[in-house]
Structure 1
């Protein structure tokens, strides 16, 4: 398969991840504004929401590609991680810590697993 054909499923997965995270952060901000919840209470929901979203993005990428789900799921996860790292480093001037490595590894693993499952659900099996 040519490289151009790999870009489309990865972009579908990345758009799904970013769109879902934007929608979920909007809903969480509404919860913070209109309820008595504090930011520390919402903090516990952020990691599971992001893991599920990256799983879904990898799943969509694997579903669209039809083959090599680990590859398209992994590249989708890496593209998201690059975006998050650039925003946190350039936008907020935060240093990279061991905790970030563990969280980013779990994000990548979630995306890869989603890609593998997405390929197995795909009607484009070769």
Structure 2
């Protein structure tokens, strides 16, 4: 990864923005995987909600891990903040793109992403270079 940043001259200095970036990458990977599962199996779109929550949870966990690892301190704080902002960005984009309304799934999604982000932050701050 360091060779890519040297090649393009790009370096993200903010741990929070870096965590949101990696959350987006994991969201894209999860969306592609869910599309392949949906296409290749008898699973219907109406039964996909638990899988979608799992993808968002994994994306938030990865983002919380990266942001806390980059910050080196306050893992719960950076991870949960990453999960909350990730969900707010997701809700804003879904409202603007498809005019999605608020349902009972929104607080559940907020809870899943914030807890997964906090857990990822807890793991990330302990995996950082400053913890040794």
TM-score band (shorter)?
0.7 to 0.9
Q: Deviations over 1:67-117 (max 9, x none)?
A: 111221122112211211111222222222343112212211110121122
Structure 1 gaps of 5+ residues are 1-6
User: In 1, Cα distance between the equivalents of 2:16 and 2:92?
Assistant: 19
2:61 matched to which residue of 1? 55
Q: TM-score, normalised by structure 1?
A: 0.80
The alignment covers a number of residue pairs equal to 121
Indicate which of 79, 94, 108 corresponds to 1:73: 79
CA RMSD of superposed structures (Å): 2.3
Q: TM-score, normalised by structure 2?
A: 0.77
After the TM superposition, which segments of 4 or more aligned residues of structure 1 sit over 6 Å from their partners?
none
Deviation, 1:41, is: 4.3
1:11 matched to which residue of 2? 17
Q: Are positions 1:108 and 2:132 aligned together?
A: no
